[in-house]
Amino acid sequence: MEDYHMRIQVLSAVAALLALSVYSAQAEDFAFGKVKMYDPNSHMVTLDNGSSFILRPGQNPDIHPGEAVVIGWQSNLNGDFYVDYIGPATTVAEGLKKI
């Protein structure tokens, strides 16, 4: 009977770790910088620090080289960075002033 309880505890711990690892893989990250290059044909945005991001289908942001932006992104298992949000960094700064 004691062996049964030990197996239940181990399985519960493994299930909890698996659930947490799946959740953390979906964490959103943010990047701030100036647009170095935006290629609407390849759906790529490159910031002045060299970071490149892939826009999702249907995203057509109105951004231009030299513009300060904030990018909300997630990475996939291949290490590609996919954009969930891209917009002017000034809107973030204005929002902080209101707080």
User: Mean pLDDT, the chain, as a whole number?
Assistant: 77
Which of 99, 98, 23, 28 minimizes the C-alpha distance to 70? 28
For each of the domains in the chain, give its residue range(s) and CATH number, in order of start. Answer: 29-97 (2.40.50.320)
Higher per-residue confidence, 55 vs 18: 55
- pLDDT tens across 23-54, in order? 445 556 889 999 999 999 999 999 999 999 99
Q: How far apart are CA 40 and CA 93, in angstroms?
A: 26
What is the value of pTM for the model shown? 0.62
The CA-CA-CA angle for residues 82, 95, 88, to 5°, reads 40
